[in-house]
């Protein structure tokens, strides 16, 4: 039986599909930036928030291969248990553990830290990866706008509560803060910091991201002279579960039609992970690099105008009050802490 003649455009689509397929297979291993360090983490402990998918999972896998003791700090324990078993099988590292952590709850954060203090003798690397993107305004169990509460306030409290463990670590330790959407045109309005008067998903994400840029810089200054260094990472446009919460992925048809474009233009999770690994391990990044932002395994220039000491001090003081943080003795902030939650 003679087969029907296919239209020419079918052959064109087939060629494009084949090219995209080859690109997907090769893009994680060929060309571009890739961290080439071979550091081992045997005997060292790593905490990764949001480690069940995307960049967090890819980071956990890489560091587990290097022999690290991996603590997956996650909200969904059932999913965490499943993913941890996958990682144990793929890395042959049995030292991968699940710990309950909900960054939308100050109580959960404190319980996680207490459990960690009781069970772990050291903390070498803290990777603040978990984040949310909220199309509509919602709040945490403590009344904070969810994007701000999880992406900034939650990691602010978690990091500060774990600092003593890192400062007293027998070897230098590192903190890596992942960013989300753009920060360059973000403005922090302390009169509406909780977005009760005005809310937009994009602006909420920008504010939280900018807050993390300032938090990283402030924390590095407060930790000066210690053995703890802190870095911010801009993973760039990455194909992650967070991005899929918005835009064309909400439409099945447009998501299907545009998927080849997304695959070619956006980084895979493994590609986006490279800068996280770089900031977590590279020996060239010392105290002189602490507090800086990195993208594609290189420092990203922010501009001095984005670092405002007055705003940074007020941000820190506000976060201290809102999260009910008891300041660690080594920090002596002279900022006005008479700031109340709106």
Judged against a pLDDT cut of 90, whether residue 299 lies above it is answered with: yes
Residue 31 domain-assigned (yes or no): no
Res 251: pLDDT: 52
Residue 130 dihedral angles phi and psi, to the nearest 5°: -60, 140
CATH number at residue 202: 3.40.50.720
Residue 50 domain-assigned (yes or no): yes
Per the structure block, which two tokens stand in for 243?
Answer: 């991005």
Res 271: pLDDT: 93
pLDDT (mean) for 273-293: 97
* CA-wise closest residue to 229 among 180, 272, 288: 288
Q: What percent of the chain has pLDDT over 70?
A: 77
DSSP string, 202-262: HHHHHHHHHHHHHHHHHHHHHTTTSSEEEEEE---SB--TTGGGSGGGGSHHHHHHHHHHH
Q: Check residues 246 and 144 and name the one with the higher pLDDT.
A: 144
Residue 337 domain-assigned (yes or no): no
Please report the sign of the dihedral spanned by the C-alpha atoms of residue 210, residue 212, residue 218, residue 220: negative
Could you tell me the residue range of the domain that residue 312 belongs to? 42-237+270-322
Q: Check residues 236 and 324 and name the one with the higher pLDDT.
A: 324
pLDDT in tens, 100-112: 999 999 999 999 9
Number of C-beta neighbours around residue 81 at 10 A: 13
Number of domains present in the structure of the chain: 1
pLDDT (mean) for 81-101: 98
Residue 260 domain-assigned (yes or no): no
Res 184: pLDDT: 81
Judged against a pLDDT cut of 70, whether residue 90 lies above it is answered with: yes
The model's confidence at residue 266, banded by pLDDT at 50, 70 and 90, is low
Residue 25 domain-assigned (yes or no): no
pLDDT in tens, 28-54: 554 446 899 999 999 999 999 999 999
CA distance 291 to 280: 13
Res 226: pLDDT: 96
Judged against a pLDDT cut of 50, whether residue 293 lies above it is answered with: yes
């Amino acid at each position: 039986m003679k087969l029907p003649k296919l239209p020419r455009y079918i052959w064109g689509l087939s060629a494009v599909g084949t090219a995209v397929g080859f690109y997907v297979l090769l893009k994680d291993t060929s060309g571009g930036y890739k961290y080439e360090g071979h550091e081992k983490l045997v005997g060292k402990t790593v905490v990764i928030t949001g480690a069940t998918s995307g960049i967090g999972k890819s980071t956990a896998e890489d560091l587990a291969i290097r022999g690290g003791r991996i603590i997956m700090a996650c909200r969904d324990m059932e999913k965490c248990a499943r993913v941890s078993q996958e990682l144990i099988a793929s890395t042959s590292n049995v030292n991968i553990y699940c710990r309950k952590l909900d960054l939308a709850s100050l109580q959960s954060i404190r319980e996680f830290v207490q459990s960690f203090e009781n069970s772990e003798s050291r903390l070498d690397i803290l990777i603040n990866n978990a984040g949310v993107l909220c199309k509509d305004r919602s709040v945490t169990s403590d009344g904070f706008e969810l994007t701000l509460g999880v992406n900034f306030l939650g990691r602010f409290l978690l990091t500060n509560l774990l600092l003593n463990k890192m400062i007293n670590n027998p070897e230098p330790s590192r903190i890596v803060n992942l960013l989300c959407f753009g920060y360059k045109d973000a403005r922090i309005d302390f009169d509406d910091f909780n977005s009760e008067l005005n809310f937009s998903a994009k602006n909420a994400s920008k504010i939280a991201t900018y807050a993390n840029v300032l938090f990283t810089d402030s924390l590095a200054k407060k930790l000066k002279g210690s053995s703890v260094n802190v870095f911010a990472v801009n993973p760039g446009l990455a194909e992650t579960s967070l991005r899929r919460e918005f835009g064309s992925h909400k439409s099945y048809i447009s998501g299907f039609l545009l998927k080849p474009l997304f695959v070619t233009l956006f980084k895979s999770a493994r590609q986006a992970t490279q800068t996280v690994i770089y900031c977590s391990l590279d020996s060239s990044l010392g105290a002189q690099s602490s507090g800086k932002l990195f993208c594609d395994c290189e420092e990203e220039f922010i501009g001095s105008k984005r670092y405002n000491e007055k705003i940074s001090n007020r941000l820190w003081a506000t976060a201290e009050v809102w999260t009910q943080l008891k300041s660690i003795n080594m920090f002596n902030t002279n900022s006005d802490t008479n700031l109340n939650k709106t």
